[in-house]
Structure 1
Amino acid sequence: MNKAAVYHRADRSMAYSINSDEMQIRLKTAKNDIHQVTLVHGDPYDWTNDQWNFSQLDMKAAGTDELHDYWEVNISPPYHRLRYGFILSNKKKSVFFGEKNFHPAPPKDIGEYFCMPYMNKADLFQSPEWVHNTIWYQIFPERFANGDASLNPPATIPWGSEDPKRDSFFGGDLQGVIDHLDYLEDLGINGIYFTPLFEASSNHKYDTIDYFEIDQYFGSKETLKELIAECKKRGIKVMLDAVFNHSGFFFPPFQDVLEKGENSRYKDWFHIWDFPVQTTPEPNYDTFAFTYMMPKLNTEHPEVKNYLLEAARYWAREFDIDGWRLDVANEVDQAFWREFRTEVKKINPDLYILGEVWHDSIPWLQGDQFDAVMNYPFTTNALQLIAKRSITVKTFIENMTKVQYMYPSPVNKAAFNLVGSHDTPRILTECDGDEQRVKQVLTLLLSYYGTPCIYYGDEIGLSGGMDPGCRKCMEWDPHKQNSELLNFTKQLIALRKSEPLLSNDGDLSFYNLSDQTVILKRENKQEAILILINLSDKKDAVKVPYSLNKRKTVDLMTGEAHKWKKGKFKLKPQEIKLVKIH
């Protein structure tokens, strides 16, 4: 038995409440090493004749990655407190694993057991419930639609007349979004994520000049209020993008520092190394990356903190927004984010807080900072599997299982899943122009737990490489849109909305049965949905070990009954199947 690989911590990542009465416990062991895990558990105050009373409960083998197996069990302690340990068994031996050591059998001393002192409701991770049923649409405002030509910036280029450059302006604005809300409603979208709308000098607006003003080329505050009101009529949530890690070069406090140097009252708003301040050949102050145009803000400074927190409160309070997406969130101190959460949740307890973090994000997902982060591991693995075909089905399953068990299940339900954005090449380009592969990527996106996001234009087949290529103007001529891809996307969104198992209901697991077909199972106690995606240009045949128990099956893509022959599936080249068992 590989004891060195056995891992558990009684923290919010491996032992946590999933509701006010139930908790979930997880354990990690070496791959194929342990055949059975039994949870030994009891109330710490339940004793009889100086003997601690405990019970036993088998854990289920929940998943496996390249190196580890994951075990999981749900339990409802009657008094909301628990001491627990694990009996690990393989073909040769059984041992007890507790907080302090391994033992031949469960010890009498409860100090050797892991402890959940009390399931405090305040510690329960709670993301807004509405997020779990939201399909997002990311809009880069400068490129979505030009609805008011009177707002056009100087040297505006006619809409879609050429490929974008880093400094191109095509005149996209808020009125253009209002004009096309019916399109988004028809697509099935019920959440819009806007990249920044605030005053800035660039086309992307991640270089904020004024955190309290809408950029003049996008429109006015009144236009934004109209847009939000129109969205609410259609049941569409609105999330804005905030850049609190850094400001723009033309942010007045930074300009004051450039002008007055050490005498500026704003000198401590930034991380200035020495004076005089210089921008070339290299800046002598902290920046986003190495961009002198984006000086890093000192969020530990009381005035900076108050300024930014009031900006967050202002848009939540005055415009009734539904979410904040937080740019470069991992580079801002966590004390700031804790205060940020407290302040915006006072205004709207259901406001969704989404952080941009590209790596292991558990420090920000303890319930005191973010509701979710952008799930880039999902992006990477989905594109490597389907678009690039650079990893095997087995590797994909192992990679996604590892990500799945990095986070508690309540966190996974709010994860912001995406396959393309303003920072990545278009999925059609990633798929080398193969439309069927794009459909497969979208199928995975829209059948996975979490809250999925479609980057504007991906549903009609826009192409483009990295920035600026991925920021083309939206194509509004129906004759130039890929109508087949658009209709396929509509169908997937409609299925996700009508079938809770394609959203966040039930469990998600994988079948590793074929080198060329990835198979997901979404299941609760009443029904299941199998998602099969043949990645190959060749036919495939798989046999899914699932018992029908006299239940019926239906092909969700066609609406017709599926002929179940002992779980045997014959798949055409690159075919997608969604089969419901009910």
Structure 2
Amino acid sequence: MLKEAIYHRPKNNYAYAYDEETLHIRLRTKKNDVEHVNLICGDPYDWKNGQFQTHQLPMLISGSDELFDYWFVEIKPPYRRLRYGFELTNDSEKLIYTEKGFYTEKPLDDTAYYFCFPFINEIDVFHAPKWVKDTVWYQIFPERFANGDKSINPPGTLPWGSAEPEYNNFFGGDFQGIIDHIDHLVELGITGLYLTPIFKAKSNHKYDTIDYMEIDPQFGDKDTFKHLVQTCHNNGIKVMLDAVFNHSGYYFPQFQDVLENGENSIYKNWFHLREFPIITEPMPNYDTFAFVKDMPKLNTENPEVKEYLLEVGRYWVREFNIDGWRLDVANEVDHQFWREFRQAVKSIKPDVYILGEIWHDSMPWLQGDQFDAVMNYPFTNGALQYFAKDAVKATHFANIISGVLHSYPNNVNEVQFNLLDSHDTPRILTICDNNKDKMKLLYLFQLSFTGTPCIYYGDEVGMTGGQDPGCRRCMIWDKDKQDLELFNFVKKLISLRQTEPAFGNQGSFQFIEANDESNHIIYKKTFENESLLFVMNNSNTNIEVKAPITSDAIDILSGEQVKPGTIRLDSYGFKVFKLIR
């Protein structure tokens, strides 16, 4: 065995409390190097005749990537504490792996050899809001969804959809427009609404905040926003707002005071200023988002800044009963601020959802003291590379997704925010080169995967658009111009996610096959005694697949009954079988 590949740590995604009495333990080994793994475990205070008392539990492979196999076991320690190691075997060798290294036999004279999970303290268990697991999100860029109140149009507002989106044009989208079209979300099956920033700002995207306590007048007033939240809640839809605490806008009054008064400004410590006088061109001499002079970085370690922003977090939850915060550029803000932010907003509403925008490995933010989830871009990138771009084959895709699932604990994965596109990216139909069949495969995979999925407004009716601002076109409301067949397809998948436990977030995910020659994948979702088998042909040719069906099954999309044998799939075709036991 390759010892260098064998890895475990008694924390984070390798050993964690799934709930108040259950531990999940994972082990990594070189791919195809180990045939069997047993968990060696016992209570640290259980001794007889001078020996530590242990028992063994078999571990199963929960997934593999390009280099490694991952082994998994669930255990309920009687006294909520555990010492443990691993017994690994293949056809030529047996190893005992412990915190102190490798042995040929179990050391039983001292528990110090073994990995230690000291105690399952309830306060340390990762808890995300339960409602998120069953939520299907819909992201709206408010300026471009619907114009419901022309009396509050900003100056220079263009007729709806009359021009291509630009960085500085306006079409008058507002809260009333969303309220007027709430039936569209209800019919689709949406249960969560994610709004990009609504606070007072100069731009059409509103990520350059002027006042965090005021709504931009082009969207409406606070009474209208309360009406929007209540309308959503009356229709079973949660509401999540977007906040930028990493940086303010150029016209944020505190920054304007710094520009006017320089070193004499009472707000000079609200920002990261390197020298005086302040210079904005050609390169700002203060820290910003990227090098954008209009977005000065806030000093979240400053007590005044911290209290101001924490009150922002509390205020919109307390006064408007919102259900979540999506946090922009979250990785550039200090961890201590996020710890205090979590405490602040959850003191008002314990089940508020806290979502960070982080594009890379996010384990430091997902240990129960900061975020409930992050935007799952590794999932996004893997799905787009395989289904949309044909950049990777089936095996590579399966490796990517297995890596995604093993990057975090299962109770984190269940609330990860799984998106395919957004206001920051080209639309998925455009990425798919307008191939609607590829787009359907993406939706089928997204809506049957572990986590909480999000649909970007307009995608469900076939809207296209390139990199922003192209992806921010006005929503199409003319039924004759909407792709209603695509809408009904997405609606059907959302319905299955809500009515079939194994299809949705309660089902455990497992790849069964990834075939590079035909470029098809097979995966299974299992919940209790129910299993669903997904067979997807990501190629432009018809194929025949020997699916692992041992008895009669039902295709839940067509209602057709299927017998064991070979399955024919059209190009970019798919089947979802409910296995009858």
The residue that corresponds to 2:568 in the other structure is 570
The residue that corresponds to 2:74 in the other structure is 74
The one-letter amino acid paired with 1:574 is Y
The residue that corresponds to 2:384 in the other structure is 383
Partner Cα separation in structure 2 for residue 375 and residue 299 of structure 1: 25
After superposition, the C-alpha distances for 1:309-329 in whole angstroms (9 at most, x for unaligned) are: 000000010000000000000
The offset of 1:560, in angstroms, is: 2.8
Q: Is the 8 A contact 1:15 1:24 kept in 2?
A: yes
The offset of 1:576, in angstroms, is: 1.7
Report whether the alignment pairs 1:520 with 2:523.
Answer: yes
Q: How does 1:140-539 map to 2 (within 5 A)?
A: 140-515=141-516, 516-539=519-542
Partner Cα separation in structure 2 for residue 384 and residue 12 of structure 1: 28
Q: Is the 8 A contact 1:143 1:171 kept in 2?
A: yes
Q: Secondary structure at the match of 1:398?
A: helix
The residue that corresponds to 2:579 in the other structure is 581
The one-letter amino acid paired with 2:356 is G
Partner Cα separation in structure 2 for residue 577 and residue 545 of structure 1: 13
Question: Under a length normalisation based on structure 2, what TM-score does the superposition of the two structures give?
Answer: 0.98
The offset of 1:506, in angstroms, is: 2.9
Q: Is the 8 A contact 1:513 1:542 kept in 2?
A: no
Q: Is the 8 A contact 2:549 2:564 kept in 1?
A: no
After superposition, the C-alpha distances for 1:418-470 in whole angstroms (9 at most, x for unaligned) are: 00100000111000011111111111111101000000000001111000000
Partner Cα separation in structure 2 for residue 378 and residue 13 of structure 1: 17
The offset of 1:189, in angstroms, is: 0.4
Q: Is the 8 A contact 1:449 1:502 kept in 2?
A: no
The offset of 1:580, in angstroms, is: 1.1
The one-letter amino acid paired with 1:474 is M
Partner Cα separation in structure 2 for residue 31 and residue 560 of structure 1: 38
The offset of 1:513, in angstroms, is: 4.4
Partner Cα separation in structure 1 for residue 100 and residue 564 of structure 2: 51
Partner Cα separation in structure 2 for residue 364 and residue 503 of structure 1: 25
The offset of 1:52, in angstroms, is: 1.1
The offset of 1:511, in angstroms, is: 2.0
The residue that corresponds to 1:23 in the other structure is 23
Q: Is the 8 A contact 1:375 1:415 kept in 2?
A: yes
Q: Is the 8 A contact 1:514 1:542 kept in 2?
A: no
Q: Which is further off, 514-523 or 345-354?
A: 514-523
Partner Cα separation in structure 2 for residue 428 and residue 59 of structure 1: 41
Q: Is the 8 A contact 1:556 1:580 kept in 2?
A: yes
Q: Secondary structure at the match of 1:353?
A: strand
The residue that corresponds to 2:94 in the other structure is 94
Report whether the alignment pairs 1:544 with 2:547.
Answer: yes
Partner Cα separation in structure 1 for residue 355 and residue 268 of structure 2: 30
After superposition, the C-alpha distances for 1:462-493 in whole angstroms (9 at most, x for unaligned) are: 11100000000000000000111111111111
Q: Secondary structure at the match of 2:27?
A: strand
Q: Is the 8 A contact 1:171 1:217 kept in 2?
A: yes
Q: Secondary structure at the match of 1:25?
A: strand
Q: Secondary structure at the match of 1:229?
A: helix
After superposition, the C-alpha distances for 1:196-242 in whole angstroms (9 at most, x for unaligned) are: 00000000000000000000100000000000111111000000001
Partner Cα separation in structure 1 for residue 579 and residue 196 of structure 2: 40
The residue that corresponds to 1:120 in the other structure is 121
**Across the two proteins, how many residue pairs are aligned to each other?**
577
Q: Is the 8 A contact 2:457 2:475 kept in 1?
A: yes
The one-letter amino acid paired with 1:393 is A
Partner Cα separation in structure 1 for residue 447 and residue 64 of structure 2: 23
After superposition, the C-alpha distances for 1:132-167 in whole angstroms (9 at most, x for unaligned) are: 000000000000000000111111111001111111
Q: Secondary structure at the match of 1:512?
A: strand
Partner Cα separation in structure 1 for residue 521 and residue 32 of structure 2: 22
The one-letter amino acid paired with 2:563 is W
Q: Is the 8 A contact 1:379 1:417 kept in 2?
A: yes
The one-letter amino acid paired with 1:48 is K
Partner Cα separation in structure 2 for residue 61 and residue 431 of structure 1: 33
Partner Cα separation in structure 2 for residue 25 and residue 547 of structure 1: 31
Identity of aligned residues (%): 56
Q: Which is further off, 79-88 or 45-54?
A: 45-54
The one-letter amino acid paired with 2:56 is Q
The offset of 1:547, in angstroms, is: 4.2
The one-letter amino acid paired with 1:137 is Y
The one-letter amino acid paired with 2:533 is L
Partner Cα separation in structure 2 for residue 277 and residue 411 of structure 1: 43
The one-letter amino acid paired with 2:524 is K
Q: Secondary structure at the match of 1:315?
A: helix
Partner Cα separation in structure 2 for residue 145 and residue 494 of structure 1: 25
Call closer, same or farther: CA 1:513–1:211 in 2, change over 3 Å.
closer
The one-letter amino acid paired with 2:528 is K
Partner Cα separation in structure 2 for residue 443 and residue 403 of structure 1: 18
Q: Is the 8 A contact 2:549 2:579 kept in 1?
A: no
The residue that corresponds to 2:58 in the other structure is 58
Q: Is the 8 A contact 1:325 1:353 kept in 2?
A: yes
The one-letter amino acid paired with 2:570 is K
Structure 2 unaligned residues grouped into runs of 5+: none
Partner Cα separation in structure 1 for residue 122 and residue 194 of structure 2: 30
Q: Secondary structure at the match of 1:403?
A: helix
Q: Secondary structure at the match of 1:257?
A: helix
The offset of 1:49, in angstroms, is: 1.8
Call closer, same or farther: CA 1:107–1:228 in 2, change over 3 Å.
same
The offset of 1:261, in angstroms, is: 0.1
Report whether the alignment pairs 1:8 with 2:11.
Answer: no
Q: Secondary structure at the match of 1:459?
A: helix
